[in-house]
């Protein structure tokens, strides 16, 4: 029998290191600093550039977010134009948008503009921005948005970012072409000149990127739709790569209240950070450092905390170190300090949410909830939630038509349909990583069955429903730099759950009431069928001398009161009165609209509705107007002209048939 030889490496006694092994000295020689741009060039997925489709969206998103932030901070009602153009590669003709691999993204705003000296660094240096170092609610926070988009463009197409900016009608417009030196993370300016620009003020950025244009979930189109829902004060114009122009008119004519900047709250500071702040403090005394660098710490409270930690309030902050600093830190954490102020937040508000949902999603029931402010890790935040439920009444009647025969395994449309969750952070739609997000988890964890909505275990609730959740915070805890999902803090989870429960409770109330009213109404109809017969029979018995009309009216009254009376009519939307017990809600039924329609929806200006495209819905809403005008209550004083509805989830839900509802205006490409 042949004996097995032991493997060569075991039998050898030689040097255990492989031939290619390196020494510490060789290793040492290879150590090198990594620039932030080099790092993100290799890890671009961390910034939202994982694939061409998402990259296109991220570019649009970063530019639009910046435009809106800048306008709002400068107190200007935003007017933003987004244009996507197909770029042909080499000398070949430009392919159709669905086949194209290269696009030019151009975003222009009417904001404050950018001073000339700052332009290169803003657009061609990562981690450079005005928002990171302050605690104030804004869409951007890390200073790595638009510069990353520019870097991605440079990486995939080699083209520079082109910027035009003008700070006022008296200033001249500047045109720049910049690229990023990834080794140094510094800008390279290729072009810098004054130009004539027809806009009196604002910024326009154009980036050429490798991308893919595809509509549907998580597309540029969806992002803009959702942006318009949560930002009804914005006027958006979108020129699609297919040459269409979509208009999202301004529905709210006031800017959201400008959020104030706040100091950090002592509860939100970790020990290492506290040490750093002590070291860098410019204050003379520890007491003044504590009261001026943190919010909600009065000089008296600062003295008290110092004394409790056995440090002199007059000590120099720099001299407070090691164990003393640690004792002081723990003392501060143990002291009861008022929650941070919340004027640093600017929630969307129930009315605006309601108006946004109503404008963009067709349904039967809408509601919105804004929670009171709360705090996680010393950072104030507010949760807002909303619901749009049901199918538009006209489409609901369509469904009542004799059902078509279904093929085996096929299901009735709408039955298996799950709710859609629309997530927002500081008014920015979050389109990716849904299942990793605290918002989505809270929606799953809510027991929707309590509110009359079916839900399989661990799944989204079923039904034609869009669930809207917004977190507004001075610092949104994203799970990564690409800002796609909210981290799961207990306080945040709890607030989302409470907001969702309130929405659910109202929906449940609406559904129960509607169900009850519908059955009472059916009963009333049956009574009424027999009333004629009964009146005739009585008349015959009385030898034809009975006042039949009177008896009929009396019997009808009884039938009505036995079947819920006016309540039934109200619930089914037959009176035009507002929905009782349902604050911040709208009920839409075939007969009209009940509830306060926010003024936003009423007077959309700038709307040039193209007559031929006015959908049936507009007629429905016009009816609502006439009805309520008659009542003179101005309640559902709705909708003089139809808000331009662009592609919405409801439409996507209802399929292509609704596409004609879109009011698009096609202009020539720029």
Ligand X SMILES: Nc1ncnc2c1ncn2[C@@H]1O[C@H](COP(=O)(O)OP(=O)(O)O)[C@@H](O)[C@H]1O
Binding site for ligand X (CB under 6 A): 62, 66-67, 70, 109, 111-112, 114, 122, 129-131, 140-147, 203
Of Mg ion, ligand X, none, which one does residue 511 interact with (CB within 5 to 8 Å by kind)?
Answer: none
**Residue 66 vs 165, nearer CB to Mg ion:** 66
DSSP state string for 124-136: HSSS--SSTTSB-
DSSP state string for 413-455: TTTSPBPEEEEEETTEEE-S-GGGSHHHHHHHHS-GGGGT--B
Of Mg ion, ligand X, none, which one does residue 147 interact with (CB within 5 to 8 Å by kind)?
Answer: ligand X
Of Mg ion, ligand X, none, which one does residue 641 interact with (CB within 5 to 8 Å by kind)?
Answer: none
Supply the minimum distance, in Å, between the C-beta of residue 138 and ligand X. 7
Of Mg ion, ligand X, none, which one does residue 333 interact with (CB within 5 to 8 Å by kind)?
Answer: none
Number of residues forming the site for Mg ion (CB under 5 A): 3
Neighbours of 429 (CB within 10 A): 21
**Residue 38 vs 629, nearer CB to ligand X:** 38
User: Which range binds Mg ion by CB under 5 A, 140-148, 191-199, 214-222, 561-569?
Assistant: 140-148
d(CA 561, CA 547): 22
**Residue 56 vs 144, nearer CB to ligand X:** 144
CA distances from 210 to 45, 65, 92, 192 (A): 14, 21, 16, 25
Contacting residues for 620 by C-beta, under 8 A, at least 6 apart: 393, 394, 590, 592
Supply the minimum distance, in Å, between the C-beta of residue 323 and ligand X. 38
Of ligand X, Mg ion, none, which one does residue 142 interact with (CB within 5 to 8 Å by kind)?
Answer: ligand X
**Residue 66 vs 589, nearer CB to Mg ion:** 66
Supply the minimum distance, in Å, between the C-beta of residue 74 and ligand X. 8
Q: Are strands 235-239 and 245-248 parallel, antiparallel or unpaired?
A: antiparallel
Per CB under 5 A, 140 contacts Mg ion = yes
| Subset of 46-85 contacting Mg ion (CB under 5 A) | 66
User: Which range binds Mg ion by CB under 5 A, 143-151, 195-203, 330-338, 633-641?
Assistant: 143-151
Of 48, 52, 78, 145, the one binding Mg ion (CB under 5 A) is 145
What's the distance, CA 385 to chain centroid?
Answer: 11
Residue nearest to ligand X (CB): 140
Q: Dmax over Cα atoms in the chain, in whole Å? A: 127
Of ligand X, Mg ion, none, which one does residue 386 interact with (CB within 5 to 8 Å by kind)?
Answer: none
Phi/psi of residue 412, nearest 5 degrees = -60, 135
Of ligand X, Mg ion, none, which one does residue 497 interact with (CB within 5 to 8 Å by kind)?
Answer: none
**Residue 143 vs 595, nearer CB to ligand X:** 143
Supply the minimum distance, in Å, between the C-beta of residue 176 and ligand X. 13
Of Mg ion, ligand X, none, which one does residue 111 interact with (CB within 5 to 8 Å by kind)?
Answer: ligand X
Neighbouring C-alpha atoms within 13 Å toward the C-beta of 241: 28
**Residue 481 vs 491, nearer CB to ligand X:** 481
The string over 435-472, giving b where at least 16 C-beta atoms fall within 10 Å of a residue's C-beta and e elsewhere, is eebbbbbbbbebebeebbbebeeeebbbbbbbbbbbbb
Structural contact between residues 485 and 478, judged by C-beta atoms closer than 8 angstroms = yes
Supply the minimum distance, in Å, between the C-beta of residue 162 and ligand X. 13
d(CA 519, CA 437): 40
Supply the minimum distance, in Å, between the C-beta of residue 69 and ligand X. 6
Q: Which two tokens stand for residue 341?
A: 């102020």
Neighbours of 400 (CB within 10 A): 7
Interacting residue ranges for Mg ion, rule: CB under 5 A: 66, 140, 145
């Amino acid at each position: 029998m042949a004996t097995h030889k032991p493997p060569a490496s075991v039998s050898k006694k030689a040097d255990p290191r492989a031939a290619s092994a390196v020494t510490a000295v060789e290793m040492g020689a290879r150590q090198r600093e990594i620039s932030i741009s080099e790092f993100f060039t290799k890890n671009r997925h961390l910034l939202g550039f994982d694939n061409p489709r998402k990259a296109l969206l991220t570019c649009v998103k970063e530019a639009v977010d910046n435009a809106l932030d800048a306008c709002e901070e400068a107190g200007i009602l935003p007017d933003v134009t987004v244009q996507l153009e197909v770029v042909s590669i080499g000398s070949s003709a430009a392919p159709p948008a669905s086949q194209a691999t290269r696009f030019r993204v151009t975003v222009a705003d009417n904001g404050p503009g950018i001073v000339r000296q700052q332009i290169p660094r803003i657009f061609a240096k990562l981690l450079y921005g005005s928002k990171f170092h302050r605690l104030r609610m804004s869409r951007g926070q890390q200073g790595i948005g638009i510069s990353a988009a520019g870097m991605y463009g440079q990486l995939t197409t080699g083209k520079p970012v082109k910027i035009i900016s003008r700070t006022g009608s008296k200033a001249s417009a500047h045109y720049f072409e910049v690229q990023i030196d990834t080794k140094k993370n510094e800008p390279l300016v290729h072009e810098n000149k004054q130009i004539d620009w027809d806009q009196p003020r604002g910024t326009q950025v154009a980036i050429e990127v490798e991308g893919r244009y595809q509509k549907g979930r998580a597309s540029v189109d969806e992002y803009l739709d959702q942006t318009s829902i949560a930002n009804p004060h914005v006027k958006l114009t979108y020129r699609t790569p297919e040459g269409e122009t979509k208009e999202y008119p301004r529905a709210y004519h006031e800017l959201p209240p400008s959020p104030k900047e706040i100091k950090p709250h002592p509860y939100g500071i970790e020990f290492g950070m506290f040490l750093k702040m002590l070291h860098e403090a410019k204050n003379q005394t520890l007491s003044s450092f504590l009261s001026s660098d943190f919010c909600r710490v009065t000089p008296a409270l600062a003295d008290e905390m110092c004394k409790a930690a056995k440090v002199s309030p007059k000590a120099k902050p720099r001299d407070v170190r090691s164990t003393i600093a640690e004792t002081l830190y723990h003392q501060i954490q143990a002291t009861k300090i008022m929650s941070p102020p919340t004027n640093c937040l600017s929630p969307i508000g129930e009315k605006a949410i309601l108006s946004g949902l109503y404008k963009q999603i067709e349904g039967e029931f809408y509601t919105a909830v804004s929670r009171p402010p709360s705090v996680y890790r010393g950072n104030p935040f507010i949760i807002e939630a909303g619901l749009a439920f049901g199918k538009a009444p006209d489409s609901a009647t369509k469904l009542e038509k004799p059902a078509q025969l279904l093929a085996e395994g096929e299901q009735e449309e709408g039955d298996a349909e799950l709710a859609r969750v629309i997530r927002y952070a500081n008014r920015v739609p979050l389109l990716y990583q849904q299942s990793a997000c605290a918002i989505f988890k809270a929606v799953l964890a809510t027991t929707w069955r309590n509110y009359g909505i079916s839900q399989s275990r661990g799944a989204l609730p079923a039904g034609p429903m869009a669930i809207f959740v917004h977190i507004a915070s001075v610092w949104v805890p994203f799970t990564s730099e690409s800002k796609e999902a909210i981290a799961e803090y207990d306080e945040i989870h709890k607030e989302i759950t409470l907001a969702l429960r309130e929405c659910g409770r109202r929906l449940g109330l609406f559904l129960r009431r509607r169900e009850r009213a519908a059955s009472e109404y059916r009963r009333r109809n049956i009574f009424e069928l027999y009333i004629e017969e009964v009146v005739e029979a009585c008349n015959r018995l009385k030898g034809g001398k009975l006042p039949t009309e009177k008896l009929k009216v009396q019997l009808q009254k009884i039938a009505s009161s036995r079947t819920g009376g006016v309540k039934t009519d109200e619930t089914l939307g037959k009176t035009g009165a507002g929905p009782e017990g349902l604050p911040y809600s709208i009920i839409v039924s075939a007969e009209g609209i009940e509830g306060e329609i926010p003024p936003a929806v009423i007077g959309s200006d700038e709307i040039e509705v193209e007559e031929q495209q006015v959908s049936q819905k507009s007629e429905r809403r016009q009816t609502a107007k006439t009805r309520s005008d008659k009542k003179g209550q101005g309640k559902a004083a709705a909708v003089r002209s139809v808000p331009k509805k662009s592609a919405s989830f409801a439409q996507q839900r209802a399929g292509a048939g609704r596409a004609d509802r879109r009011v698009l205006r096609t202009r020539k490409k720029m």
